[in-house]
Amino acid sequence: MTIVTRANTQENLNAVIRGHSELLASQLHSQRESLFPPDASKTMRKFTSGEAAALLGVNDSYLRKLHLDGKGPSPEVTSGNRRQYSADDIQCLRVLLEKTARKPGDYLPGRRSGDHLQIIGVMNFKGGSGKTTSAAHLAQRLALKGYRVLAIDLDPQASLTALHGVQPEFDLPNGGTLYDAIRYDAPVPITEVIRPTYIPNLDLIPGNLELMEFEHETPRALSRGSAGLFFFRVKEALAKVDDRYDVVVIDCPPQLGFLTMSALSAATGVLVTIHPEMLDVMSMSQFLRMTADLMDVIADSGADMSHDWMRYLLTRYEPTDSPQNRIVAFLRTMYSDKVLNAPMLKSTAISDAGLTKQTLYEVERSAFTRSTYDRAIESLNAVNDEISQLIQKTWGR
């Protein structure tokens, strides 16, 4: 009798969970449809002439002169006689300005002959430590600064994918994640899962729950003896598109599974996001030990596990919070220059942008009070530009 009751309860629970899942998916779908109609794909906003000039690293007056001289793309001129540039216009200007640049790379900072592809893994197994937010803003900023960027969502939760206007549960019914390119049976060429985004220079490999298959299939392939050097599958797939990009940014899942292990093996740079609070820092000690153990296992197979750089990035940092400040001071003392100078400040501008599936780079300044927007964007730019400097340094510049 008891058993029957329990079975019934269990069945009911399954039904409830399944029902809730379907309800949530359809609600989210209709919410998105109302925000972004199905035939309207996401587009990038226009940039003010001041923003365009800052992105290009020139004076606004110089951009104005180019426009008046009829050089380069024509910006849209608003009724208030303001010039607005699209992200494509900015890219065209880069190409134009680079032709007469004082030194090569002033406007197109990407690889030159002999420079190797930078693959940046954003990781920490602590959930909510700011991996996706950091990865998305980094990928977009680098693309807007003229690097050729590939963003990869390696997290089955697919938040990076959703941020880029792809609905993981609706838009990828027949695969289309990196799993297709790294699976053990019948992998497809990686080019088949790369898609352009609404930002010039930025491509995306989306993710969804199918990525979990790699976690399930790898132990099976290992026991069959058919896994080979499984942790190099991401690296090998990326080697096929090496010449198409300057930088690859990988958003890792919040766990140290086979996917993260593969990202770690492919990475040339590792960014560990840390929210400076006691519980997060305590779990980080385990994360670091487990990561080191994993790297030992990989290195034991003869693989080269050297990286160009690794840095800790402080996320959602509140400078007015004294406990956080103590933790930041403690981390900086322990890890000195391995902690990026620029922290990513906590800001409602960043979390509000996230609510509408946008990064702050996609939101216009007028959407927030100026001081809130400026403070957040300056913090994001400082973080991403410090990472850009690490990339340049790796290339010997």
Ligand X SMILES: Nc1ncnc2c1ncn2[C@@H]1O[C@H](COP(=O)(O)OP(=O)(O)OP(=O)(O)O)[C@@H](O)[C@H]1O
Q: For binding to ligand X (CB under 6 A), which residues are involved?
A: 127-133, 155, 157, 159, 254, 315-316, 344, 346-347, 350-351, 354
Q: How far is the CB of 396 from Mg ion (least distance, A)?
A: 33
Q: Which two tokens stand for residue 387?
A: 């990472």
Where in 243-322 does DSSP place strands (E)? Answer: 247-251, 269-274, 309-314
Q: Does 86 contact Mg ion by CB under 5 A? A: no
**How many residues at the interface with Mg ion, by CB under 5 A?**
3
Q: How far is the CB of 348 from ligand X (least distance, A)?
A: 7
Instruction: Find the part of the chain contacting Mg ion (CB under 5 A) among 11-19, 129-137, 142-150, 363-371.
Output: 129-137
Contact by Cβ (8 Å): 244, 274:
no
Q: What is the DSSP letter of 46?
A: P
Nearer to ligand X, 128 or 187 (CB): 128
Nearer to Mg ion, 49 or 159 (CB): 159
Q: How far is the CB of 263 from ligand X (least distance, A)?
A: 13
- Cβ atoms < 10 Å from Cβ of 33: 13
Nearer to ligand X, 227 or 367 (CB): 367
Distance of CA 166 to CAs 33, 194, 259, 355, Å?
Answer: 12, 12, 21, 15
Q: Does 83 contact Mg ion by CB under 5 A? A: no
Distance of CA 142 to CAs 56, 129, 169, 246, 377, Å?
Answer: 12, 21, 28, 10, 14
Of these partners, ligand X, Mg ion, none, which one is at the site of residue 275 (CB under 5 to 8 Å by kind)? none
Q: How far is the CB of 254 from ligand X (least distance, A)?
A: 3
Q: Does 132 contact Mg ion by CB under 5 A? A: yes
Nearer to ligand X, 132 or 291 (CB): 132
Q: Which two tokens stand for residue 219?
A: 């132990």
Report the residue from 159, 358, 379, 384 that binds Mg ion according to the rule CB under 5 A: 159
The two beta strands, 247-251 and 118-123, are parallel
The two beta strands, 247-251 and 269-274, are unpaired
Q: How far is the CB of 349 from ligand X (least distance, A)?
A: 8
- Provide CB contacts within 8 A for 153, sequence distance 6+: 159, 160, 161, 177, 178, 204, 205, 206, 207, 251
Of these partners, Mg ion, ligand X, none, which one is at the site of residue 357 (CB under 5 to 8 Å by kind)? none
Q: How far is the CB of 242 from ligand X (least distance, A)?
A: 27
* Angle at CA of residue 111, ends 107 and 115, nearest 5°: 145
Residues forming contacts to Mg ion in the complex (CB under 5 A) are: 131-132, 159
